[in-house]
Amino acid sequence: MKNILVVDPDPIILQAFVGLLKSQGGFLNILSAESGKAALEIIEQTQIHIVITGLYMPEIDGFELVALLAKQYPDIRVIVMTNNASPMFRANIKQIPTAVHFDQATDISLLTKRILTELHIDYGGQVRGLSLPSFLQMLEMEGRSCTLQISTKSESGNLSIVSGELVAAKVGPLSGDSAALQIFSWENVLIDIDYSFKEVQRDITKPLMALLLESGRIVDEKQSSLPNSRKHDRYECLVAIDYDVSDWTYQCFLRDICLGGAYIETEQTIKVGQKIILTLSSPEFERGCEISGQVVRRDKKGIGIQFDEISLRQRKVIQTLAGGSSNKYQ
């Protein structure tokens, strides 16, 4: 269980954020405070993993709180919420290793994904190495009931869990065991959990473990038959990051990355040829890592980026995101 502290003097905003985060299920424990002073009192008594704070508060403003936490509680990640922050403010926040900026004008659903990223929970089913199959087995052990929406960049499907047991699966026209096998073969998926479970008709006939073993065999066969035509190994992921274009910072999802470039999902209008800076973070590095490049392609969902020449540190950050060995990128 991760403890998230939300700090804001406006009770309406505070209630909205707390309600949003609590709706994510039992993985996050949400606390709240209406001032920086009250927040510090809670932090002194409770282990807090992430603080979400606004800027304008009585007694101790948001920036003072961020600086104080960075000095006294360096293990706490801080997300600073603002509306249309100036480039200078964004630059100042980037100088604080434990803090990141989040624009309140951005789709608020991105906030939960940003939190999971800051907790080093990969939204592709990774909780410090916990894969989608392991996540399903965890639900099985805990006897949970829920509906999971599983999606990739191009596909989506649903899994229905009753008292920890997989009872139904659906992907397009497919249902039952065949749909479950297809979902289990996907990599780096986005998992949306709905605990307001609705009764469904059972169409799964095999135990979860049998389906997982069969899907593993299918994936192995596919991978062994695919030629490697890329110059660099590409790692698919789903991680919330920041990027800078023309002195403005935006939030987005990194969908894949390699030593030569990356693909991000964004709704911003960015032209091919435009310069861009990605800010990547990793549990193994205290500070964010900036990588510059230019946009080389665009589609309906996002943009492809070609990196400029990268340094050894940038290589190591990409390597960490890719989960590869240190020899892979030598």
Residues 6+ away with beta carbon under 8 Å from 171: 155, 156, 157, 158, 179, 182, 183
Residues 6 and 112 in one domain: yes
Q: Which of 90, 119, 148 is the last residue of a domain?
A: 119
The structure's pTM equals 0.49
Looking at residue 232, its pLDDT comes to: 59
Does a structural domain hold residue 328? no
Which of 173, 191, 225 delimits the end of a domain? 225
pLDDT of the residue at 85: 67
Residue 215 lies in a domain: yes
- Per the structure, the complete domain to which residue 141 belongs is given by 126-225
Cα(230)–Cα(258) distance, integer angstroms: 10
Same domain? 57 vs 114: yes
CATH of the domain at 317: 2.40.10.220
What residue ranges of the chain have pLDDT lower than 50? 122-130, 229, 324-330
Last residue of a domain, one of 225, 243, 272: 225
Is the same domain home to 112 and 187? Answer: no
The per-residue pLDDT for range 270-303, each reduced to its tens digit, is 888 899 999 887 555 556 788 999 998 888 888 9
Q: How many CB atoms lie within 10 A of CB 145?
A: 16
Q: Considering the domain boundaries, does residue 153 fall inside one?
A: yes
* pLDDT per residue as tens digits for the range 90-143: 777 777 777 877 776 555 666 766 676 666 554 443 333 346 776 787 677 667
Do residues 134 and 171 both lie within one domain?
Answer: yes
The per-residue pLDDT for 328 is 40
Task: Give the pLDDT confidence score for residue 287 in this predicted structure.
Answer: 65
- The pLDDT value recorded for residue 316 is 81
How many distinct structural domains can be found in the chain? 3
Q: Is residue 330 part of a domain?
A: no
Q: So what's the pLDDT on residue 106?
A: 58
Assign 3-class secondary structure to the chain.
CEEEEEECCCHHHHHHHHHHHHCCCCCEEEEEECCHHHHHHHHHHCCCCEEEECCCCCCCCHHHHHHHHHHHCCCCEEEEEECCCCHHHHHHHHCCCCEEEEECCCCCHHHHHHHHHHCCEECCCEECCCCHHHHHHHHHHHCCCEEEEEECCCCEEEEEEECCEEEEEEECCEECHHHHHHHHCCCCCEEEEECCCCCCCCCCCCCHHHHHHHHHHHHHHHHHHCCCCCCCCCEEEEEEEEEEECCEEEEEEEEEECCCEEEEECCCCCCCCCEEEEEECCCCCCCCEEEEEEEEEECCCEEEEEECCCCHHHHHHHHHHHCCCCCCCC
Please tell me whether residues 220 and 130 are part of one structural domain. Answer: yes
Please state, as a whole number, how many other Cβ atoms lie within 10 Å of the Cβ of residue 307.
Answer: 20
Same domain, yes or no, for 249 and 280? yes
| Co-location of 221 and 254 in the same domain | no
Residues 193, 252: one domain?
A: no
Whether residue 241 sits in one domain with residue 164: no
Q: How many residues does the chain have?
A: 330
- pLDDT value for 24: 58
- Residue 8 sits in the same domain as residue 109: yes
We report the CATH number of the domain holding residue 98 as 3.40.50.2300
pLDDT for position 107: 58
Domain annotation covers residue 327: no
Q: Do 269 and 171 lie in a common domain?
A: no
Q: What's the CA gap between 319 and 235, in Å, rounded?
A: 9
